[in-house]
Amino acid sequence: MAFWLMKSEPSEVSIDDVLHRPGQRVDWFGVRNYQARNYMMRDMQVGDGVLFYHSSCPQPGVAGLAEVSRRAIPDETQFDAQSPYYDPKATRERPRWYNVEVRAVKKTPLLSLGALRSEPALQDMRLLARGNRLSITPVTPAEWNAILELINAA
């Protein structure tokens, strides 16, 4: 089992949105970074733990827990000319972008970016690295456990 931090803008899809969907599931669509795509295609497995992170909002932070519920398949938004995630170079025969399905497990008290930065056990976390802009990053088991402790203490 692996662990991941996956960023979503709450104006696009929030933890509350996913909790209100059928089966509490969402395709993690719109990722247009090759490294993040490769994590989904090559590394993510059903059952992997996910920190659902709200980004590009007034209070960014971990907003919930989720799990990977389906392996990667082609991201349908790349084929939709009306979508902001449309990719004219992608074809059904040769898709460029993939996504996993994520199932929300629970909403948590918001664990702010500041709270994450102040936790010594998280000093090497990829999310907190200078210049990190990836929407999906691996989380070590030690980081996962430290974050669960912070959430449970909140």
pLDDT in tens, 56-96: 999 999 999 999 999 999 999 999 999 999 999 999 999 99
Rounded CA gap, 71 and 64, in Å?
20
Stronger pLDDT, 130 or 36, i.e. the higher one: 36
Per-residue model confidence (pLDDT) at position 65 = 98
Residue 132 confidence class, pLDDT cut points 50, 70, 90? confident
* CATH class of segment(s) 3-153: alpha beta
pLDDT tens digits along 97-106? 999 999 999 9
Handedness of CA 38, 40, 41, 43 (dihedral sign): positive
Based on DSSP, count helices (H) and strands (E) in the chain, helices before strands: 4, 6
